[in-house]
């Protein structure tokens, strides 16, 4: 029996999850949960990074002091693209910014003015989004940010926490591949992009593959938390890479949706697809466990429901996610359709949806259930659009969609996805990110032979739910309306 600890930090909350691996089965237990609340200052929107590390230490104290656990390893996964900059003394020179910070507005156009879109994609194969790490660094360069001038090393968020745990500065491959300055074809940093943008490439750390044993936890931290010595692994540091590692698919006739604040929909391939058509479709080639390429699309996801829920809570109307799902199921179908990716910035989400519907000549929703049904139906329609684009690019079809992550608990959305796409949907595990984090650690430790055995372990360990297409013909007219909006 082996015990691994996963620190799984999402855009809304973080958790310390204990994973016990025994006889081919994985059991998970949440030891500590904490909010991940960004902080808005006059200079921008920031992650509360030191608070997050404090909460991680609390998770270690629970494991060590309270539970007296012997840990075989720990690993950290987080959202993508964001980073910290370290000075020559190893200290942060600026607190990491939130990817939704307004400094990123308009940065795609400014970056394209310096390096053509086609050239960036040829070197990185990454979907263009204004908050990609490349755009964030370019924004700092154009603003003459003092932090960039004095930076000695760039570490993505899981790499930063790994550094604070071990003192070792490395970049884990899956998180590095989200940056838009990693070249998946040449398998190294896209240094020519830095040269073109006038950014010093010396800040880029050595890249290590997922499952790498970085080293022991720092002695002072082990003593204060009562854990004793254990190994810190550079697991699949991008949360989506961890989630996809725990998708229990077999063979090649399946695609996945990692469903959470963001929805990431795609397929696993042996090599990146970097050509004019994948550029036109704005798909992304990120790296996963065992070096698999995750050809996928970033979609807004449950973010819209989360933002609506926050807005209603501020008005004194408290709803659980289960309540909102039930209200959505009872609301009238296809009252309106929206493009989920049109809603990027936080705040006043219900108002923004009303304004969008009004502008597009649709009846604006009034009740929370109608808002949520419109969001969930539109997500399902967006999934269909993305699936069809991937299938057209690859010249093949996929009969099964594996939905993993927290959003897989939303049975209403799962059924909508089956109906909209006409495909079989398998939902679960909901804790795919933590499970994948732990299983990649076990692979690095030599306890699992590889990804196939890890996925078999998932299939044996978690209850999965299946959804068959129903009334798919009812989705045809709404899909036509959707495609006219989301071109």
Residue positions annotated with a catalytic role: 239
Structure tokens at 435: 């499970």
d(CA 418, CA 373): 15
Q: Is 250 helix (H, G, I), strand (E, B) or coil?
A: coil
Non-local (6+) Cβ contacts of 228 within 8 A are: 64, 70, 71, 222
d(CA 404, CA 462): 11
d(CA 102, CA 44): 7
Alpha carbon separation from 154 to 45, 56, 103, 150 (Å, rounded) = 19, 21, 19, 11
Nearest to 306 by CA among 357, 386, 376, 385: 376
For residue 195, the Cα-to-chain-centroid distance in whole angstroms is: 28
For residue 83, the Cα-to-chain-centroid distance in whole angstroms is: 14
Non-local (6+) Cβ contacts of 237 within 8 A are: 75, 76, 77, 78, 156, 158, 159, 162, 172, 174, 175, 210
d(CA 440, CA 437): 5
Strand partners, 46: 39, 97
Burial 297-325 (b: 16+ CB within 10 A, else e): bbbbbbbbbbbbbebbeeeeeebebeebb
Q: Is 202 left (phi over 0), alpha (psi -120 to 50) or beta?
A: alpha
d(CA 405, CA 79): 13
d(CA 188, CA 50): 30
Strand partners, 426: 402, 466
d(CA 46, CA 102): 11
Sign of CA dihedral 313, 363, 353, 305: positive
Alpha carbon separation from 328 to 335, 341, 356, 411 (Å, rounded) = 11, 20, 19, 11
């Amino acid at each position: 029996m082996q015990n691994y600890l996963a620190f799984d930090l999402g855009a809304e909350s973080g958790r310390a999850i204990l994973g016990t691996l025994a006889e081919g089965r994985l059991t998970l237990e949440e030891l500590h949960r904490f909010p991940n609340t960004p902080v808005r200052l006059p200079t921008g929107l920031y992650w509360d990074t030191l608070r997050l590390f404090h909460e991680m230490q609390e998770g270690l104290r629970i494991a060590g002091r309270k539970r007296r656990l012997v840990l075989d390893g720990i690993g950290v996964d987080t959202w993508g693209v964001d980073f910290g900059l370290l000075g020559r003394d190893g200290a942060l020179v600026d607190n990491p910014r939130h990817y939704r910070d307004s400094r990123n507005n308009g940065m795609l156009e400014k970056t394209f003015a310096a390096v053509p879109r086609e050239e960036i994609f040829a070197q990185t194969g990454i979907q263009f989004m204004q908050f990609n790490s490349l755009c964030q660094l370019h924004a700092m360069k154009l603003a003459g940010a003092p932090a960039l001038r004095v930076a000695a090393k760039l570490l993505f968020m899981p790499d930063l926490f790994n550094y604070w745990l071990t003192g070792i500065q490395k970049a884990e491959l899956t998180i590095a591949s989200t940056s838009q300055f990693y070249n998946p074809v040449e398998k190294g940093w896209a240094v020519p992009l830095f040269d073109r943008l006038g950014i010093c490439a010396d800040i880029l750390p050595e890249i290590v593959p997922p499952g790498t044993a970085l080293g022991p936890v720092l002695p002072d931290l082990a003593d204060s938390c009562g854990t004793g010595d254990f190994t810190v692994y550079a697991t699949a540091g991008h949360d989506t890479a961890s989630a996809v590692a725990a998708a229990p698919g077999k063979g090649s006739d399946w695609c996945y949706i990692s469903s959470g604040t963001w929805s990431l929909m795609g397929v696993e391939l042996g090599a990146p697809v970097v050509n004019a058509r994948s550029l036109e479709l704005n798909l992304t080639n990120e790296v996963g466990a065992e070096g698999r390429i995750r050809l996928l699309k970033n979609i807004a996801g449950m973010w819209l429901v989360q933002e609506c829920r926050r807005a209603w809570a501020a008005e004194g109307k408290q709803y659980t996610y289960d309540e909102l799902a039930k209200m959505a199921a009872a609301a009238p179908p296809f009252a309106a359709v929206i493009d989920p990716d049109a809603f990027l910035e936080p705040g006043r989400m219900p108002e923004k949806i009303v304004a969008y519907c009004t502008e597009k000549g649709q009846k604006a929703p009034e009740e929370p259930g109608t808002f949520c049904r419109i969001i969930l139906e539109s997500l399902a329609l967006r999934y269909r659009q993305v699936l069809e684009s991937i299938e057209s690019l690859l010249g093949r079809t996929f009969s099964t969609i594996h939905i993993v992550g927290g959003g897989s608990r939303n049975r209403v959305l799962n059924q909508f996805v089956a109906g909209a796409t006409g495909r079989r949907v398998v939902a679960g595990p909901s804790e795919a990110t933590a499970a994948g984090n732990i299983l990649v650690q076990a692979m690095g430790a030599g306890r699992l032979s590889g990804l196939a055995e890890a996925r078999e372990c998932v299939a044996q360990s978690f209850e999965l739910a299946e959804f068959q297409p129903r009334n798919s013909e009812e989705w045809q007219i709404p899909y036509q309306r959707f495609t006219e909006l989301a071109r």
